[in-house]
Amino acid sequence: MDIFSTYAVNEDKEQNGTWMEVGDAKLLVARAGNKAYIKMLGKDVERNQKALDRKDDAADALSDKIMVDVLATTILLGWENVSFKGKPIEYSKDNAKMLLGFKEFRREVMKLADDFASFKAEQEAEEVKN
C-alpha cells in the first residue's frame, strides 16, 4: 500500500475549499476539522462552556448557533447557482449563516466537508492523467 496515494491530502483544499456539485448548485467547501475550524470551534465552546454544560434547550440552541457560525466562517466558503424561496441568493457569510440554520442543509454541507476523497492529494494527479 502506498501511504501517499492512500492518505495524503491537499492542504490548500482542506483550508480554502474545493468546489462540489449539489444538484445544479456548486458549493465551495473546506474540509471538516481544518485548522481554522478547530481553532474557532475550540474558542467558541470554551467561551460558552458554562451555558453549554447546562444541557437544556437553551444549551442546544447555543450549540446549534455556534456550529452555524463556525461552518459559515470555516467550511462553507462560497457558492454558485444557489437560490432561496425561488430567488437567487449571493454568497456572503451572513447568507451562509441563514442557510446553515436549516438543519438538513447543514448536514449536507458537513457530509461534503467530511468526504475525504474530495481533498486527497493524489486525486489531482489522477485527474490530470484522465
Instruction: Work out the pLDDT band at 19, boundaries 50, 70, 90.
Output: very high
Please give the model's pTM, rounded to 2 decimal places: 0.85
In tens, the pLDDT along 62-91 reads 999 999 999 999 999 999 999 999 999 999
Residues in contact with 49: Cβ distance below 8 Å, sequence separation at least 6, in sequence order: none
What average pLDDT does the segment 15-19 reach? Answer: 95
Q: Tell me the percentage of the chain whose pLDDT exceeds 70.
A: 93
Q: Name the DSSP class of 79.
A: E
* Integer Cα distance of 100 and 51 in angstroms: 22
Pairing status of strand 25-29 against strand 18-22: antiparallel
The domain ranges of the chain are: 11-125
Work out the end-to-end distance of the chain between its first and last CA atoms, rounded to an integer number of angstroms.
22
Residue in this structure with the C-alpha cell 482542506, named with its chain if needed: 14
Average pLDDT in the chain = 91
Residue type, 102: F
Residue type, 58: A
